[in-house]
Amino acid sequence: MVTIRADEISNIIRERIEQYNTEVKIVNTGTVLQVGDGIARIYGLDEVMAGELVEFEEGTIGIALNLESNNVGVVLMGDGLMIQEGSSVKATGRIAQIPVSESYLGRVINALAKPIDGRGEISASESRLIESPAPGIISRRSVYEPLQTGLIAIDSMIPIGRGQRELIIGDRQTGKTAVATDTILNQQGQNVICVYVAIGQKASSVAQVVTTLQERGAMEYTIVVAETADSPATLQ
């Protein structure tokens, strides 16, 4: 006959109470109603914020943009081929942001700041919001210094000020990319960080630009952001 000892039972109960995890975790979850063309309709994310990152069941990240009374419109930051109707979605509580670091200099990344040049991960201890408020006109530094492009026709007739915006527009095969790359090459030793963004281009064209910048030593102060023609439209 088994003898029940009260002290053993008391010790077991005491150990179980001490090991009990009292942490309560609240997760805002929802359900996919519809998905297609890079957009997903989610039901149940009642407390999601505009611009907040959400994570789907299969790992795809999305950004909540359209907050309606009965559902939420989410832009998929990926192809979303594995997302199905009825799958779960959870809010992350984080506004869309990307990591920033000087370690990105000389690297080729995608729209989500993930390296695509096969040289390993990039370490970054700081991040910034994608939708950051622009400084007011009073707090901005005045444009007082030219940005030399290295092209005599531009620098002499329509000089560009450092800090200005300038549109390079033209038909296909008229040298728009050449103007941009020549400007980047001319910034060597000028303490200027260049960001070359390639949207919807062929992967071979992007690789050719990167090779040119590497051969001329311009990748030391340049970051290339590329989403090629086969990338999802939302990432482009």
pLDDT at 224: 94
As a CATH number, domain 100-227 is 3.40.50.300
Does the structure show a pLDDT above 70 at 137? yes
Please write the tens of the pLDDT for every residue from 200-233: 888 888 999 999 999 999 999 999 999 888 887 7
Q: Could you give the percent of the chain with pLDDT greater than 70? A: 95
pLDDT at 113 over 90: no
Contacts 24+ apart (CB under 8 A), 216-221: 216/185, 216/188, 217/188, 218/184, 218/185, 218/187, 218/188, 218/194, 219/105, 219/106, 220/105, 220/106, 221/105, 221/187, 221/188, 221/192, 221/193, 221/194
**The model's pTM:** 0.77
* CATH architecture under which domain 1-95 falls: Beta Barrel (2.40)
User: What pLDDT does residue 4 have?
Assistant: 63
Does residue 129 carry a pLDDT above 70?
A: yes
Residue 223: the pLDDT is 94
Type of residue found at 112 = L
| Residue 148 pLDDT > 80 | yes
pLDDT of residue 213: 93
Q: Name the more confident of 8 and 72.
A: 72
Looking at residue 126, what is its pLDDT? 87
Parts of the chain belonging to CATH 3.40.50.300: 100-227
Give Cα separations from 92 to 27, 89, 234 (angstroms): 8, 10, 20
In tens, the pLDDT along 44-56 reads 888 888 888 999 9
> Which position has the token pair 């390079």?
168
In the chain, where does the domain assigned CATH 2.40.30.20 lie? 1-95
Mean per-residue pLDDT over the chain, rounded? 86
